[in-house]
């Protein structure tokens, strides 16, 4: 099989169209054949690790009535076949007690099969934002792609891929909340504007506790970021305060003593030239 064409840009549809052109098939049906379900093995490197049993049961009920609408993708593996795409349909067909399943057999190498599996996983309708982010990162790592190349294969813009990957900068706790749909992707993007990770987690818990909307969350974070930290005022020793008080009483104006480790500063306020001359006379005794 020829290598996968690069720059596909529209996900699985474009990828399969590329294969059809190489094989010379003009119709989808020309690639489909019925294969025994027991002759197909699931791919141990399948990117999707979790399958909802209730969803599988619902699909199995549909398959009993309507059959498998979209064929699975397999590749030869010795005398058997290895699943490339469509494990959910394969599982549901087994649950529906089907003996065969419509399949497209493609002579793929491991990298080509992996690319199809990764893209299929990222084009699921029920894909969670954090699953998408992890899926894109896995695709980049396993296929040694740049963000731009990943975007091209997925039919997404480069900024869309970059924004998805930014979610992985959040703590495991926040990623778990996003995975469980306790917060939305909008909440998560708002939290990214908070630089302190501990503060992010605190705000995430507050979002759940007070059921904050994305807009309310953004406003809360904006207010927090706009507040300037008040400098801590170091408490002066009592003897310094006493000296300040004595000088203020003698000079009739405000006096500040700022002690340092080896030297300090005395600040004497005056409010006019006459006031300055008055203070000088007191200090010099002239």
Which amino acids are annotated catalytic? 87
Give the DSSP H/E element, type plus range, for residue 12.
Answer: helix 12-23
- Measured distance CA(275)–CA(23) in Å, rounded: 98
Q: How many CB atoms lie within 10 A of CB 166?
A: 13
- Measured distance CA(219)–CA(190) in Å, rounded: 9
Distances (CA, A) of 54 to 35, 91, 196: 25, 12, 39
**Nearest CA-CA partner of 80 in 23, 50, 41:** 41
Do 40 and 74 form a contact (C-beta atoms < 8 A)? yes
- Measured distance CA(282)–CA(7) in Å, rounded: 86
Q: How many CB atoms lie within 10 A of CB 256?
A: 14
CB burial of residue 56 (10 Å; 0-12, 13-18, 19+): middle
Give the DSSP H/E element, type plus range, for residue 81.
Answer: strand 80-85
Residue 258, beta-bridge partner list: 265
- Measured distance CA(135)–CA(263) in Å, rounded: 61
Do 218 and 194 form a contact (C-beta atoms < 8 A)? no
């Amino acid at each position: 099989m020829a290598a996968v064409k690069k720059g596909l840009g529209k996900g699985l549809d474009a990828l399969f169209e590329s294969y059809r052109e190489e094989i010379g098939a003009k119709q989808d049906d020309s690639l489909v054949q019925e294969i025994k379900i027991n002759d197909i093995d699931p791919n141990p490197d399948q990117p999707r690790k979790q399958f909802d049993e209730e969803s599988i049961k619902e699909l199995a009920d549909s398959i009993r009535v309507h059959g498998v609408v979209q064929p699975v993708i397999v590749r030869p593996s010795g005398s058997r076949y290895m699943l490339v795409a469509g494990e959910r349909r394969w599982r549901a067909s087994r649950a529906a007690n089907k003996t065969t399943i419509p399949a497209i057999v493609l002579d793929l190498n491991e990298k080509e099969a992996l690319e199809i599996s990764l893209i299929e996983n990222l084009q699921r309708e029920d894909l969670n934002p954090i699953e998408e982010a992890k899926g894109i990162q896995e695709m980049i790592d396993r296929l040694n792609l740049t963000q731009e190349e990943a975007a091209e294969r997925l039919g997404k813009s480069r900024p869309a891929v970059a924004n998805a990957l930014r979610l992985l900068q959040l703590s495991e706790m926040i990623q778990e909340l996003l995975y469980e749909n306790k917060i939305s992707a909008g909440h998560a993007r708002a939290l990214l504007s908070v630089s302190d990770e501990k503060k992010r987690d605190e705000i995430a818990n507050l979002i759940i506790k007070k059921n904050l909307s994305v807009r309310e969350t953004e406003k809360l974070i904006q207010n927090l970021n706009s507040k300037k930290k008040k400098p801590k005022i170091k408490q002066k020793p009592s003897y310094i305060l006493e000296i300040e008080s004595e000088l203020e009483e003698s000079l009739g104006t405000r006096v500040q003593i700022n002690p340092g480790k080896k030297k300090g500063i005395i600040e004497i306020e005056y409010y006019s030239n006459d006031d300055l001359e008055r203070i000088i006379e007191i200090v010099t005794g002239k």
